[in-house]
Each structure stands twice: as structure tokens, then as C-alpha cells.
């Protein structure tokens, strides 16, 4: 065992938060740091993936972790044979997930190159066709998910079951539908990774080349050259903007201004022009309101389509701005022109040979990058949104049968326990006795809820054990922005001082007052001119970017959502500060320097 003190603690020495005793039971055995494997696990560097999972897991929610990590791994290790990298191993500690990318032994890398060239090469060569096909595959799965339906078991089976000589009962559909939903989520997560790492690799190849040409070029400049303006991730926000303009044009905006979303929609239906407007609203809803205010990884995510008050709130903001004469649509033409200007000006400074290489690499990066942005809408927002809705329907059904009280309590069970509950429901129904779960789960869920709360009250450690001397694993760098420098920053950020450092994600410098938000439910508190400080932002927060003066996040890199949107809105952003949202308090005066990546607390 290591005798020297490591940079970060060992998982085996991290204390359980008070009140969270027994937390391990909430998560599967393969996510535990096992004492029997201590030597190996202690010799490994683990970093907390709070970028994707900023809060602890409810037991059911580890499904997204399992499927995502498995999907990521399979493409690197088994499909594409990425020369230096296999998948990413993971553990859960105190409810938070820790990652450790698995590097390929240096002596084995060379032998993997030819396979990778053939396989990845095929994707790059046929990107357009494969991507078009990908969309079809995903849409088909979404349709299947939409069709999932859980029916309550009948008092007695229909007569046709008997007369038709069917010989089977209604419980089969419950199991089928549940298994089918899980299977669809599993497949959707595999699709998620089919192109993703290749997309990042091509982007990084361009990035590295430009950095070699201009060592001091800001990362955000490179991002600006690649980033498109018509990402489907912008569509939901654009649709709301169009609806706001339309409401003002049609003269039915006033009807939308008060009450709940349902009340407003009822009011607008009666207003002149309201019918026309409602049609546009309905058209926009599907698919564009399949949009979460989180990131899709939690059962608690609120999707617009299920919570119309969220888009209604944004709509009202936009209506107000339109009425004040503001132009709210994104200036896409100007943005494209600006992208061309930036690209041309850097290109101009290269010699002719380099210009040729630049064109080739930029060309590929621009071909692949739409996937890197758009997949998020199809998978995390749309498909996963449907999945969670179906699971909530199942949870409600089981709640009606007394397994638990609240309609979302099911998520305190893991997915295998839910299947056990279906068995309990089915067999007790068949036998003709009360189900057994009603006397087990309410109490157990209560116990788990307390543990979950205790876990949530604690922030995770950024990492465990010692980082390697140099971090070279490409996906650690690409997907999580974890470099040797970032690790040094984490250590430093614990040492205090009035400043914070992160990534210079979008240019500009402003001073203003901080508004610290810890969840999307608090978005309504934002005032015009506030500096948004938050652990992480999501694409569906786009409407608030028209209000704020700058954004500061704990987590995220150059291509994180906050970075992309801030660049587009011309707002300074500093991302990946590690702990801005806990160090900064609402009301503090800040100076945000998006050129240097620093945040200063001025008072």
C-alpha cells in the first residue's frame, strides 16, 4: 500500500455522511469500492463526474449511468478499437459517481491502429449516410418507446381470453412492456455513443492543429470556427421565440400573460387569433418540447412537455421583450458571417501548406460536429424524456396498488427491484391475496429517502488517489476536460483566496451581482443583469441567457452548453471552476473575465 500521502484521499478512507449509513445498499455491487479490490482501486485515479451527475443517484437512476458507461466502452473497446483507449470504469461513493478511463497498455496500441483506421475510417467516409440512418434508427426507437403502455391487471380476465383459448393472462404485457422499455433505453444509449467519440476525435484533431499553428489562440476561437448555428439544440428556444413574436403579431399575447399554463392556453383559445396561435404551439410541442431543464440523466428531470409552465414562463419573458421592441431571434446570418470572418482571419495568417491542412481538418470537424451537438436533443431530451414519462406512469400505477405513496417513489428502487415488484403485483393478483410490497416498500423508501437526503447535503470530492504524472487518456481530456492543469486547479481551489479559475469559455469582462442557482426550479429568481452562478447549465436554460450578464459554472468545458450559448449571446463565461456555486453567494459583487477564465469576488 502507498505509504506516501496521496493528492486526494482513498475511497476507503472517505467517511460516510451522517445519516447516510447503509447508502451502499442503494446501488449495485459492481459500483462499490470493494475492500477485496482495495490495492487495485487505490492505485487508480478516479475523478468525480459531476459534469453529468452533479447530484446523488436515486437507486433507479443508476440505469442511465450503467447504460451510458457501457455504451461508451463498447465503441472504444469492441467496435472501433480505439488505439490508446478502452472504456471508462466507474464506482459510486457516497452517492456520486467516480470515473477512471481505461488506457490501453502502450505496447498494445500500435497493433490496434489498422483495425481502428478501417473501422473509424468507414464512419468518417460515410458520415452523412450513416448519420441519416442513425436518425431513422433513433426515431424508430422513440416511436416504440411512445407506444409503451402499462395496463392495470383486471379483476377477471376478459371472456375472450377464455373463449379464444389464449391460455395466458394480463401480467405478461406488464413484464413485456417493462422489459421492452428497459431494453429500448439500453439500445438508445448504445446509439448515443455510436458517433460521439469519433466526433470528438475529429474536433480535437482540428483543435490540436490550430493550437500548433497559434499556440496562444484562445480555445473559444477554435470552438467558434467549428460551431454551427442551426443545431437542433437551439430549436426549442427558437420555437418559443417564434411563438412569442406570433402572439404579439396576432394580438393574442395578453391572454397568455397570467395564470397557469393551462389557464393561459384556455384563455388564448378564446382570444382573437388565438386558434391560429394554438395550432403553432401544438405543432412546436412535438418534438421540440421534449426538452429537459436538466440533462436527462435523472428521473427528477422536468421536461417541458410534461411541465408546460416552464416554456410558458419563457414565452412570457419573450413576449415582454418583443413588446419592448427587442429583436429576440438569434441573428443566425450575422453569427455565420462572424464564424466565416474568424475562420478567414486565422487562415490568412498561415502559410499555404498549413492552409490546405487547415481546410481539410476544419471540413471534417464541421461535418462531424452537428452530431456532437444534435445527438443530445434526440437522446437525452427526446428519447430519454419519453422513457422517464413511461416509468412515471408505471410508478403511478403501482402507487395506486399501494406499493408506495407518491407517484415517483418507484425511483427509490433499482430497476431489478422494480421487476420484483411487478412479480409481487402479478403473483399476488393471481393468488388473490394482498400484495406483499405494500408492507415493505413505503418504510424502505422512507429509509432510502433519508439516506439520499443525507448524501445530497454533501458535495463530492473532486477526485480520489493520485493522478498520473501526465494525463494522456484522450477521452478524459476530450469529454471531461480533465488535464493535469485542471487537477492542479482542483487542489488549489480548496485553498481559499478571493478568486476562482476556470476555462475562458466565452470572451468579455463584466462586473455584476451574483445569483447562485442550484437547480432549474430556481430559474425564476434571475433578474436582468445578474451574473448566473450554477453547478451546471442545460440547453433548455437558453431563454435566461437573454437576461443575464455573464455565466459561471462549476462544471463543463469549452463545448459545454453554457459556453456555447454565452458565445452566441456575446456574454462572458467561465466554466469548470470546480466550486464557484458553493464559494460564491447570491448578492456578492463579481468580476468575470471570460478572456482569462477568472472570477473575482469583489467584496
Partner 1 sequence: MSAASYTLNFADIGKDLHDKVGGKCASLGEMTQAGVAVPPGFAVTTDAYQTMLDHHGLRKEIERHLTAIDAEDIDAVDRAAQAIRVRIRSHHLPADVEAAIRAAYAEMGDDLPVAVRSSATAEDLPDASFAGQQDTYLWVRGADDVVNRVRDCWASLFTTRAVAYREKNRIPHIDVLMSVGVQKMVNAKAAGVAMTLDPGTGDRTRIVIDASWGLGEMVVSGVVTPDNFVVEKVLEEIIDRKISDKHVELVGDEAAGEAIEREVDEHRRKQPSLSDAEVLAVARLAKRLERQNKCPQDVEWAIDADLPEGENLLALQSRPETIWSQKKVEKPKTSYATGMIGIVNTLNNPLASKG
Does 500 bind partner 1 (CB under 8 A)? Our answer is no
- 36-44, 321-329, 345-353, 552-560 -> range binding partner 1 (CB under 8 A): 345-353
Which residues does 238 contact at the CB level (< 8 Å), separation at least 6? 329, 330
- Residue 509's φ and ψ, nearest 5 degrees, are -130, 130
Q: What would the x/- binding string for partner 1 be over residues 469 to 498, using CB under 8 A?
A: -xxxxx--xx----xxx-------------
- Output 221 or 335, the one with its CB closest to partner 1: 221
Whole-number minimum distance, CB 198 to partner 1, in Å? Answer: 8
In contact, 500 and 580? CB cutoff 8 Å: yes
Rounded to the nearest 5 percent, the helix, strand and coil shares of the chain are 60, 10, 30
Q: What would the x/- binding string for partner 1 be over residues 306 to 335, using CB under 8 A?
A: ------------------------------
Whole-number minimum distance, CB 249 to partner 1, in Å? Answer: 36
- Output 20 or 210, the one with its CB closest to partner 1: 210
Does 64 bind partner 1 (CB under 8 A)? Our answer is no
Does 602 bind partner 1 (CB under 8 A)? Our answer is no
Whole-number minimum distance, CB 593 to partner 1, in Å? Answer: 9
Does 220 bind partner 1 (CB under 8 A)? Our answer is yes
Does 351 bind partner 1 (CB under 8 A)? Our answer is yes
Residue with cell 422489459: 179
Q: How far, CA to CA in Å, does 78 sit from each of 49, 83, 103, 184, 350?
A: 23, 11, 14, 21, 39
Sign of the dihedral defined by the CA atoms of residues 165, 167, 169, 171, in that order: negative
Choose which of 89, 144, 169, 205 interacts with partner 1 (CB under 8 A): 205
Q: How many CB atoms lie within 10 A of CB 99?
A: 26
Does 575 bind partner 1 (CB under 8 A)? Our answer is no
Does 519 bind partner 1 (CB under 8 A)? Our answer is no
- 38-46, 251-259, 353-361, 445-453 -> range binding partner 1 (CB under 8 A): 353-361
Does 507 bind partner 1 (CB under 8 A)? Our answer is yes
Does 250 bind partner 1 (CB under 8 A)? Our answer is no
Choose which of 43, 111, 509, 602 interacts with partner 1 (CB under 8 A): 509
Q: How many CB atoms lie within 10 A of CB 587?
A: 10
Which residues does 393 contact at the CB level (< 8 Å), separation at least 6? 150
- 4-12, 168-176, 204-212, 314-322 -> range binding partner 1 (CB under 8 A): 204-212
Closest by CA to 119, choosing from 89, 84, 83, is 83
Does 107 bind partner 1 (CB under 8 A)? Our answer is no
- 162-170, 185-193, 346-354, 375-383 -> range binding partner 1 (CB under 8 A): 346-354
Does residue 444 sit in helix, strand or coil?
helix
Choose which of 153, 335, 342, 491 interacts with partner 1 (CB under 8 A): 342
Closest by CA to 257, choosing from 321, 317, 327, is 317
Phi-psi region of 182 (alpha: psi -120 to 50; beta: other; left: phi over 0): alpha
**For residue 382, with 0-12 CB atoms within 10 Å meaning exposed, 13-18 middle and 19 or more buried, which class applies?**
buried
Sign of the dihedral defined by the CA atoms of residues 303, 571, 239, 127, in that order: negative
Q: What would the x/- binding string for partner 1 be over residues 124 to 143, using CB under 8 A?
A: x-------------------
Q: What would the x/- binding string for partner 1 be over residues 69 to 88, using CB under 8 A?
A: -------------xxxx---
Residue 379 DSSP code: I
- Output 507 or 546, the one with its CB closest to partner 1: 507
Phi-psi region of 14 (alpha: psi -120 to 50; beta: other; left: phi over 0): beta
The size of the chain, in residues, is 603
How many C-alpha atoms does 559 have within 13 Å on its Cβ side? 22
Whole-number minimum distance, CB 423 to partner 1, in Å? Answer: 46
Choose which of 25, 275, 345, 494 interacts with partner 1 (CB under 8 A): 345
Residues in contact with partner 1 by the rule CB under 8 A = 82-85, 109, 113, 116-117, 120-121, 124, 201-202, 204-205, 207-209, 211-212, 214-218, 220-221, 224, 342, 345-346, 349, 351, 353-354, 357, 360-361, 470-474, 477-478, 483-485, 507-509, 595-596
Amino acid at each position: 500500500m502507498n505509504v506516501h500521502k496521496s493528492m486526494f484521499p482513498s475511497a476507503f478512507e472517505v467517511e460516510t455522511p451522517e445519516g447516510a449509513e447503509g447508502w451502499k445498499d442503494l446501488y449495485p455491487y459492481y459500483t462499490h469500492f470493494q475492500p477485496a479490490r482495495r490495492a487495485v482501486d487505490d492505485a487508480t485515479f478516479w475523478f468525480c463526474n459531476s459534469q453529468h451527475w452533479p447530484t446523488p443517484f436515486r437507486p433507479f437512476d443508476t440505469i442511465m449511468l450503467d447504460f451510458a458507461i457501457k455504451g461508451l466502452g463498447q465503441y472504444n473497446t469492441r467496435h472501433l478499437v480505439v488505439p490508446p483507449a478502452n472504456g471508462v470504469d466507474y464506482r459510486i461513493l457516497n452517492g456520486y459517481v467516480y470515473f477512471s478511463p481505461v488506457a490501453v497498455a502502450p505496447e498494445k496500441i500500435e497493433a490496434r491502429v489498422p483495425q481502428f483506421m478501417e473501422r473509424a475510417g468507414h464512419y468518417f467516409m460515410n458520415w452523412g449516410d450513416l448519420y441519416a440512418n442513425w436518425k431513422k434508427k433513433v426515431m424508430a426507437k422513440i416511436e416504440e418507446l411512445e407506444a409503451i403502455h402499462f395496463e392495470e391487471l383486471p379483476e377477471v380476465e376478459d371472456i375472450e381470453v377464455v373463449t379464444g383459448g389464449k391460455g395466458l393472462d394480463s401480467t405478461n404485457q406488464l413484464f413485456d412492456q417493462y422489459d421492452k422499455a428497459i431494453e429500448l433505453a439500453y439500445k438508445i444509449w448504445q446509439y448515443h455513443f455510436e458517433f460521439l467519440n469519433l466526433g470528438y476525435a475529429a474536433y480535437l484533431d482540428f483543435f490540436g492543429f490550430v493550437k500548433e499553428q497559434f499556440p496562444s489562440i484562445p480555445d473559444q476561437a477554435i470552438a467558434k470556427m467549428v460551431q454551427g448555428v442551426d443545431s437542433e439544440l437551439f430549436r426549442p428556444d427558437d420555437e418559443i421565440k417564434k411563438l412569442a413574436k406570433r402572439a404579439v403579431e396576432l394580438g393574442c399575447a395578453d391572454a397568455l400573460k397570467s395564470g397557469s399554463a393551462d389557464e393561459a392556453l384556455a384563455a388564448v383559445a378564446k382570444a382573437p387569433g388565438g386558434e391560429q396561435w394554438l395550432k403553432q404551439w401544438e405543432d412546436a410541442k412535438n418534438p421540440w418540447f421534449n426538452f429537459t431543464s436538466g440533462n436527462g440523466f435523472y428521473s427528477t428531470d422536468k421536461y417541458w412537455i410534461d411541465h408546460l409552465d416552464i416554456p410558458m414562463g419563457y414565452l412570457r419573458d419573450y413576449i415582454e421583450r418583443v413588446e419592448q421592441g427587442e429583436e429576440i431571434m438569434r441573428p443566425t446570418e450575422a453569427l455565420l458571417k462572424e464564424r466565416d470572418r474568424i475562420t478567414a482571419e486565422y487562415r490568412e495568417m498561415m502559410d499555404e501548406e498549413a492552409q490546405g491542412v487547415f481546410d481539410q481538418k476544419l471540413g471534417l470537424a464541421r461535418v462531424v460536429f452537428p452530431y456532437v451537438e444534435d445527438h443530445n436533443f434526440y437522446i437525452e431530451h427526446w428519447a430519454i424524456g419519453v422513457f422517464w414519462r413511461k416509468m412515471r406512469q408505471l410508478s403511478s400505477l403501482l402507487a395506486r396498488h399501494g406499493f408506495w405513496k407518491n407517484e415517483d417513489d418507484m425511483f427509490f428502487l433499482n430497476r431489478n427491484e422494480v421487476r420484483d415488484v411487478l412479480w409481487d403485483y402479478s403473483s399476488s393478483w393471481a393468488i388473490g391475496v394482498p400484495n406483499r410490497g405494500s408492507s415493505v416498500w413505503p418504510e424502505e423508501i422512507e429509509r432510502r429517502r433519508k439516506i439520499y437526503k443525507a448524501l445530497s447535503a454533501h458535495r463530492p470530492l473532486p477526485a480520489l488517489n493520485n493522478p498520473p504524472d501526465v494525463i494522456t487518456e484522450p477521452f478524459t481530456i476530450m469529454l471531461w476536460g480533465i488535464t493535469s492543469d485542471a487537477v492542479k486547479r482542483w487542489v488549489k481551489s480548496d485553498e481559499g483566496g478571493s478568486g476562482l479559475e476556470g476555462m475562458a469559455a466565452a470572451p468579455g469582462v463584466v462586473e455584476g451581482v451574483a445569483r447562485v442557482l442550484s437547480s432549474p426550479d430556481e430559474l425564476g429568481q434571475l433578474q436582468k443583469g445578474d451574473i448566473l452562478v450554477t453547478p451546471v447549465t442545460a440547453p433548455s436554460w437558453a431563454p435566461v441567457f437573454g437576461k443575464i450578464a455573464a455565466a459561471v459554472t462549476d462544471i463543463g468545458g469549452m463545448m459545454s452548453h453554457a459556453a456555447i450559448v454565452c458565445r452566441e449571446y456575446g456574454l462572458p463565461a467561465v466554466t469548470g471552476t470546480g466550486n464557484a456555486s458553493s464559494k460564491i453567494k447570491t448578492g456578492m459583487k463579481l468580476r468575470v473575465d471570460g478572456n482569462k477564465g477568472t472570477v473575482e469576488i469583489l467584496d
